[in-house]
Amino acid sequence: MKRIVKAKKRVIGKSNPWVLDFLDNPRLVNELNDNKDLWATKQNHASLCVACKGSRMLCGKTRCPVMVRVNSFVRTIPLIKSLEIDGASPPSVFVGRIGYPYVYAGPMVPPVHEDTSLYDLPELWFGKTIDEIVGFRSMLIRGKHRVHVRRFEEAGKIMDMTRELALASTATDVELALKKRPRGFLVLNDDIQPFGPSAPIRDLQVDSARWDHQIEKAYYDTDLKAKPAVLELYNKEVMVTKIQRAFSVGAFGVEQQRRLVPTRWSITAVDSMISKELMDRIRTFPLINEYRLYESSYLENQFEILMIPDAWSYEAMEAWYPGTVWNPSGRSIVMYGDWEGYDGRTTYADIGGCYYAARLAICELLTKERRQATVVVLREARPGYIMPVGVWQVRENVRNAMRQQPLKFNIIEQALQRISSQFLIPIQQWVDRSRLITNAKIQRKLTEYA
């Protein structure tokens, strides 16, 4: 055993030899070497990893993302004993985007039989740690089947079973036969939830699944267009995650126009469609009559949401510290954002899906209160945010802020002073980059001379 470990140590030793110091299982060592995705360390950081060994945080992060991934890997791999994965899917499916319109689609199945429904319901994750989220998401093994997005109905049993699973309302037993051992490791992206290794599908069996009644009704209505189907389900209080999942497998729309939608696109599409509908209602409501500030902090992301008593406009801004997910090697804080006026926007926001996820959460509260406002969402991502866990984090963070009683102010300067006390970045840097805060300050000055 010792000879095997030493031999494998020379392979991994090019970047992370220290990891093997705590492993005495030859099979895990082999898997660590074969799963190159686990070592998502840039070449120019390799020497830092060797010197740091996961303890000195030389990369600037507050915790070692490699160690978080390895720890989950060590727990998951022993459960994958063969090419046959037998477990209870949350339910969960994934539609890729690489090679569009030919994409890989299929189920995600953990090799365990228990209540796994939490594994794919981000609405219930708020408050869980990164370790907990990585822990259960890394258990999800992705089966892949190549299919054309417009001809998925012709793709046979595997796609039929995948759709059956996507529309299920509860965890469902699945037998997933793979063509080869799952490769890769934890897939991380700012739009989608993490998931584990993947492999091509040889066969798929799904136990009789109980469908969500409302989604089933929309699925069988082949004259109902996709957008009205999404809005109808949302108005009937179906979880956004479940709507997104069904949308991705082509469950909605006029029969001849249905298609698969890559998962990351379906998430943003549903957030955008729902929030646009809510915005149309918000524009008819009276303005709020004070400056409001809502706050939330989770996973080292600090959110400050400023509402200004003016006609509907929306802005989202983000600041990333050095050592965070999207600013890993920078020496200074990176700030960027996007905005829209009263009539909305026609182009995709530069900051991606987070823009639409936060907008949905904002619109939900204003619709509930039947009020209108100019809204600015400010997000400070700090070094403790060591890896992306998906756009859900933004939506649920802002939703959490909206559940709190807001701080209320008579003038915008008071609100900005409060934001300054919660952020580490000087408030003037936010003001200088914010279109809507600048506009509000200018308008206030003009009214003083009116």
pLDDT tens string 423-433: 999 999 999 99
Domain ranges for the chain = 2-78, 84-206, 213-281, 291-448
Token pair 């095997």 is found at: 4
The pLDDT value given to residue 19? 40
Q: In what order do the strands lie in the sheet with 301-308?
A: 334-340, 313-320, 374-381, 301-308, 291-298, 407-409
pLDDT at residue 76, as a whole number: 65
pLDDT at 154: 86
Distance between CA atoms of 174 and 142, rounded to whole angstroms? Answer: 12
* Strands of the 198-206 sheet, one edge to the other: 84-89, 172-178, 198-206, 141-148, 102-109, 93-95
Q: Sign of torsion, CA 231 232 237 240? A: negative
Residue for token pair 């999404």: 230
Reported as a single tens digit per residue, the pLDDT across 196-230 is 889 999 999 999 888 999 999 999 999 999 999 99
What's the pLDDT score for residue 333? 85
Q: CB within 8 A of 403, min separation 6: which ones?
A: none
**Can you list the residues of the chain whose pLDDT is less than 50?**
1-23, 28-29, 32-33, 36, 38-48, 50-51, 53-55
Judge whether 374 and 440 are in contact, CB under 8 Å. yes
pLDDT of amino acid 106: 97
Give me the residue label for tokens 């936060």: 358
Cis peptide before 91 (omega within 30 of 0): yes
- Which residues contact residue 304 at a Cβ distance below 8 angstroms, ignoring those fewer than 6 apart? 293, 294, 295, 378, 380, 419, 422, 423
User: And the tokens for 28?
Assistant: 């895990």
